[in-house]
Amino acid sequence: MFDQNDLLKLARTEMPFGKYKGRVLIDIPEEYLLWFQRKGLPEGQLGRLLALALELHVNGLADVVKPLKQS
């Protein structure tokens, strides 16, 4: 379950660690999100947002969030 603010968070929150540190969550490649899911997503808000990003990528909806990114 997510709320509408999660879409803004996906478009504006940077990955805090790892290979894609500093990249906005919605811009993390689907392949990495799938790998992360297999290894175990982090607890809390970050894990929930990464799971949502993966769901959007898998369903071809990631581009819907990208216009929400800050310029």
DSSP string, 12-65: HPBP-SSTTTTSBGGGS-HHHHHHHHHH-PPSHHHHHHHHHHHHHHHTT-HHHH
The pLDDT tens digits for 8-35 are 999 999 999 999 999 999 999 999 999 9
pTM of the model: 0.91
Angle at 28 between CA 24 and CA 34, to 5 degrees: 145
Question: Mean of the per-residue pLDDT values for the chain?
Answer: 93
Sign of CA pseudo-dihedral 66, 61, 32, 8: positive
